[in-house]
Amino acid sequence: MPDADGSAQPFVEVQEAPPIGQFVPVDGLVPTTPHLAPTPPRPLSVPPEYFAPEPVDETRTPAAGPVPADVAPEQADTTPGAEPEAQPAPGTHPETGQQPAATVPAPRDGARPTAAPAGTAPAPVDAAEDGTAFPSAPETTDPDEPMHAPHPAGPTDPASHPEQPAPVVLVDADEAEDLSAPAAAADVDGSPQPLLLMEDPEDPEGPGGDPGLAEPLAPAADTSVEPPAPGYADAEREAVLRVMRERRDIRNGFRSDPIPHEVLLRVLEAAHTAPSVGHSQPWDFVVIRSAETRGTMHELARRQREAYAKSLPKGRAKQFKELKIEAILDTPVNIVVTADPTRGGRHTLGRHTQPQMAPYSSALAVENLWLAARAEGLGVGWVSFFDEREMVRALGLPEHLEVVAYLCVGYVDEFPEEPELMQAGWSKRRPLSWVVHEETYGRRALPGEDPHDLLAETVGNIRPLDAKALGEAWERQKRMTKPAGALGMLEIISAQLSGLSRMCPPPIPEPAAVAIFAGDHGVHAQGVTSWPQEVTAQMVANFLGGGAVCNAFANQVGAEVCVIDVGVAGELPATPGLLPRKIRAGTADMTTGPALTREEVKAAIEVGIETARDLVAAGNKALLTGEMGIANTTASAALISVYTDTDPADVTGRGTGINDEMHARKVEVVRRALDLHQPDPADPIGVLAAIGGLEHAAMVGLLLGGASLRTPVILDGVSAGAAALVARAIAPEVLAACIAGHRSAEPGHVAALNKLGLRPLVDLDLRLGEGTGALLALPVVQSAARAMHEVATFDSAGVTEK
Ligand SMILES: O=C(O)c1ccc[n+]([C@@H]2O[C@H](COP(=O)([O-])O)[C@@H](O)[C@H]2O)c1
Ligand SMILES: Cc1cc2nc[nH]c2cc1C
């Protein structure tokens, strides 16, 4: 198939060469399974504006030799019953030529799912091996290092192949990248971002507040005459930066050596020079050495620890159990840092409108103390497992004081290179580029760089599966004590997880979080559902209260439930667990005009990307899609009709349950909307704006965000399927991260999965949404990864191979 410029695209003639985890229906061949054979690289089918020019990176190793020889060729040789000219079916096991035993449910339209030929040309091996699934500086401990640029593949006009016949590059023929690289790409549609003006941050000290600068501020110097005040010499500056970089919150490895008085004095003096609101210096430091007092405090912390552990999802609680969270008894000195909110009297400068400036000031004293302690070789651990009032009483502190910190201080065996919580896999460091905004919130740019578009940056960081890790996964499966191919689809999933994470065995996808995006739909006015619109908000309250099916399933599998209001019509009260990210209060009626503006679509996609970032940075190793939105199966049907080129009658289902009359109307509503907008599948943002929902757009963002962070995303039902089609139109390689959790009873979902070439793991006629099908599939995915870690090899177990 020629590209827009007439040049031939590799693979396109290979029908639907499906990405990993995919099958493609082609008449005559059953069953179908995902396909992991490496395919040669091809240009990305992504709009050119998604990519910045690739800078030359001298440090990159050129792509090396082919994938282990047995991966692709064996498939071709051993596929049983193949037509002479036929290529092996996708998902054919590279070792045995077998396909998983489970059959794929036949699409409801009667088409039989079949295999597509695999692209079998050897793929170059990914040269770098950083083994880091998270994109923040995998090759360096500095998260703020400048980062690699977007994928070097040349841009390709998506309009040239609007149906995206899935010639997706599965295997990363490129290099491992530091995904925190700022992508200096243009805005997706070139439209300017809305600007918000921000005030300058207030100086916490107020004018002239620093004790060392007590004189009134001099008028600004004439820079043409006087040079500015000097900074520190290079070595001194480096020492200051080093102490900040190497400060750690220490819980392990404390020693009992006493701290000399002069050392502790220097540390407390440093704390006492901290900036403070209105120069009020609201802190006091209570130095505790007594074993009895420390014992009392240890007991208080132990009780709080238990209460916190009980509040955690099981997946997290398991991890938490392994963590040491305080060293009260292991350290010779504990220091309580307090804030006196009354210090300085009622007219304390700067505290008038912001009373919280008093404890903030004491927190700055804590940081000073911490840095000075690090420079002395002293470790500090800040313990916050206390009920503050309980602690005030236990320590006999004056009742008007606030406790800001309880610090455990002592000499240590060593200072870990990374925060202990990172080392334990509890969390990940957020790159600096995620948090620096230029002038207005959302215009992300590091100093000296042009602002970059979040969507473009995310798309630029999505990579195909890593060939080396994929090859290692197949090799390992060959050596595991089981007949080759005996784990069927799970072998494919575990290979996908290896290729995605670039690690073999892959990380076990636990803890996991389901992100439930909630939004309302203007098309509700057309009578396409029998449920009132307010049920969306009511069900959100139910999710947050823990009373919905998704909560029961999440409890069962130990996942966290995270609810995001991206467009609920009504106001939702602030509640723990709810992320208020409303872009607008429901979409407009797509039968009378566009459902959304392009800007709203982009904003909702960004909500999804940010959600992925937050959940992954918080330590989640799998993301699950969920949604809630009365009438959203109408929008899903419209999206699926566009991306599968199927008549609305074949992809419009009964959603929450409707009678024949309402169903006929729903089909006509979808048809009318498509007639009105004539959506162009090559313009995914435009498609979402015309007929999509806010939760669909946010799920697109979650998928892209998850893929860019090399984190698996388990898809739920019909709306997730619709979102995956849109996400693939934006970035075909997004499918490397996607796992179809289940098959919904909605006919559109089957069409979507067929088009995506994804095989669902669970097929139980569910039609609920809210992440339930994805949650049921989670243990299957986790089992696939765990088998790679725990199953013995023929050698190690002394089992004879055949
Ligand atoms: O995920 C599915 O496959 C699915 C199938 C049918 C219904 N739903 C849920 O039901 C709601 C939409 O249904 P409806 O009939 O109001 O369009 C929405 O909240 C979805 O989460 C979800
Ligand atoms: C009760 C109810 C629960 C849901 N969960 C997801 N979509 C839903 C729709 C309804 C109507």
CA distance 695 to 628: 8
- So what's the pLDDT on residue 791? 98
CA angle at residue 741 from 736 to 747, to 5 degrees? 105
Q: Which ligand is nearest to the CA of 538?
A: 2
Computed over every residue of the chain, the mean pLDDT equals 79
The answer to whether the CB of 541 is under 6 A from ligand 2 is no
Cβ-based burial of 375 (10 A; exposed 0-12, middle 13-18, buried ≥19): middle
Give yes or no for a contact between 715 and 739, defined as CB atoms under 8 angstroms apart: yes
Nearest to 693 by CA among 568, 580, 781, 576: 568
**Closest residue by Cα to residue 562 from 384, 351, 313, 330:** 313
Q: What ligand 2 atom has the least distance to the C-alpha of 629?
A: 7
Cβ of residue 537 lying under 6 Å from some atom of ligand 1: no
- Ligand 2 contacts CB of residue 768 (under 6 A): yes
Ligand closest to Cα of 626 equals: 1
How many Å lie between the centroid of ligand 2 and the Cα of residue 589? 21
Q: CA–CA separation, 512 vs 615, rounded Å?
A: 9
Side by side, which strands form the sheet with 578-580? 578-580, 560-567, 512-519, 622-628, 713-715, 738-740
Which ligand has the minimum distance to the alpha carbon of residue 718?
1
Distance (Å, rounded) from C-alpha 135 to C-alpha 711?
A: 10
For the annotated catalytic residues, the residue numbers are: 770
Question: What is the three-class DSSP state of 713?
Answer: strand
Reported as a single tens digit per residue, the pLDDT across 23-81 is 333 222 222 233 343 333 333 232 332 222 333 333 333 222 222 222 222 232 222 22
Say if ligand 2 is within 6 A of residue 531 CB. yes
Rg (the chain; Cα; Å): 29
Q: Evaluate whether 397 touches 286 at the Cβ level (below 8 Å).
A: yes
630 lines ligand 1 (CB under 6 A): yes
**CA of residue 540 to ligand 2 center, whole Å:** 10
Residue 21: predicted pLDDT:
38
Residue type, 636: S
Tell how far the Cα of 719 is from the centroid of ligand 1, in angstroms.
8
Q: What is the pTM of this model?
A: 0.77
Query: Which H or E element spans position 740?
Result: strand 738-740
- One-letter amino acid at 692 equals G
Alpha-carbon gap, residue 756 to 771, rounded angstroms: 19
The residue to which tokens 């002239």 are assigned: 208
Which ipTM value was assigned to this complex? 0.99
Between 366 and 174, name the one with better pLDDT.
366
Q: Is the distance from CB of 89 to CB of 29 less than 8 angstroms? A: yes
Q: How many CB atoms lie within 10 A of CB 685?
A: 24
Closest by Cα among 394, 777, 789, 746 to 556:
777
- What is the whole-number distance in angstroms between the Cα of residue 628 and the centre of ligand 1? 7
Q: Are 400 and 342 in contact (CB under 8 A)?
A: yes
The ligand 1 atom at the shortest distance from the C-alpha of residue 636 is: 17
Can you read off the two tokens belonging to residue 530? 């029998």
Torsion 502-503-504-506 (CA) sign: negative
Ligand 1 site, residue 655, Cβ cutoff 6 A? yes
What is the C-alpha to C-alpha distance for residues 201 and 339, in angstroms, rounded to an integer? 22
Query: Is the CB of residue 281 below 6 angstroms from any atom belonging to ligand 1?
Result: no
User: What whole-number distance in Å separates Cα of residue 728 and Cα of residue 735?
Assistant: 7
Closest CA to 424 of 321, 329, 500: 321
For the segment 153-200, what is each residue's pLDDT rounded down to a tens digit? 333 333 333 333 332 334 443 333 332 333 323 333 333 222 222 223
**Residue 360: count of CB within 10 angstroms of its CB:** 18
Structure tokens at 314: 């099981």
φ, ψ at 432 (rounded to 5°): -55, -35
Q: How far is the CA of 632 from the centre of ligand 1 (A)?
A: 6
State residue 224's pLDDT score. 65
Q: Of 68-72, 293-297, 456-460, 471-475, give the lowest mean pLDDT range.
A: 68-72
How many CA atoms lie within 13 Å of 221's alpha carbon, on the beta-carbon side? 7
Res 223: pLDDT: 55
Which residues have CB under 8 Å from 538's CB, separation 6+?
Answer: none
Q: What is the pLDDT of residues 197-251, one digit of tens each?
A: 222 333 333 333 333 333 344 445 455 689 999 999 999 999 999 999 999 999 9
pLDDT tier, 87 (very low <50, low <70, confident <90, very high otherwise): very low
pLDDT score of 465 more than 60: yes
Direct distance between the N- and C-terminal alpha carbons of the chain, in angstroms, rounded to an integer: 45
The residue behind tokens 């290729």 is 499
